Amino acid sequence: MPPAERRMKMRELADWVSWLTATFELHNRMPPCWYRHTAVVEHLTALYAAWVRSYCTPTGHRELAEVEWISMLHAFAPHLQVASCATGTHQEPPPRSAVRPDAQEAFETYLMSAAFGTAEAVHPAADEVLRRNNSEPQY
């Protein structure tokens, strides 16, 4: 999405996060610098999209959509915390490890040579399924 639209969406998310924090008393769980942590933004975006679907659209066949959303919020709550920013002072996340130049090639080699990528799939209950499909019912 273009930068101007991205900024607008982020402001919309920030307004909703302010409401969420106050309504569900998440002050001690969500750092004030939440917008600087990609994983927290992704979790909040998912929660917001689910909230919109639960509260702002007709549910019809989903009578418990709102209850499910609140359960989802509680499940996500630990992922909104950032231990390094718990004191209220933002700490930049550690830098990501550099990607090895041969990483994609090593991955492709693994897929083409390891049993994971070359062996036929075997279901743990394949013999039982075969027995059931080949036998007549016992009365």
pLDDT in tens, 25-47: 998 888 999 999 999 999 999 99
pLDDT of residue 139: 47
More confident residue, 44 or 101: 44
Q: Give the total residue count for the chain.
A: 139
Cα 111 off chain centre by? 26
What does the DSSP 8-state code read for residue 56? S
Please compute the mean of the pLDDT values over residues 7-26 and round it to a whole number: 95
Q: Residue 120 above 60 pLDDT?
A: yes
- Asked if residues 80 and 34 have their Cβ atoms less than 8 Å apart, the reply is yes
Tell which residue, 31, 24, 41, has the closest CA to residue 86. 31
| pLDDT over 70 percentage in the chain | 94
pLDDT in tens, 75-99: 999 999 888 888 888 888 878 888 8
pLDDT band at 125 (very low <50, low <70, confident <90, very high): confident
Please provide the DSSP assignment of 101-136 as one string.
Answer: TTHHHHHHHHHHHSHHHHSPP--TTHHHHHHHHHSP
Q: Residue 113 above 50 pLDDT?
A: yes
Q: What is the pTM of this model?
A: 0.69
| Separation between Cα atoms, residue 124 and residue 134, nearest integer Å | 18
pLDDT of residue 41: 96
pLDDT of residue 61: 60
Number of other CB atoms surrounding residue 10 within 10 Å: 14
Residues contacting 34, CB < 8 A, separation 6+:
17, 40, 41, 44, 80, 82
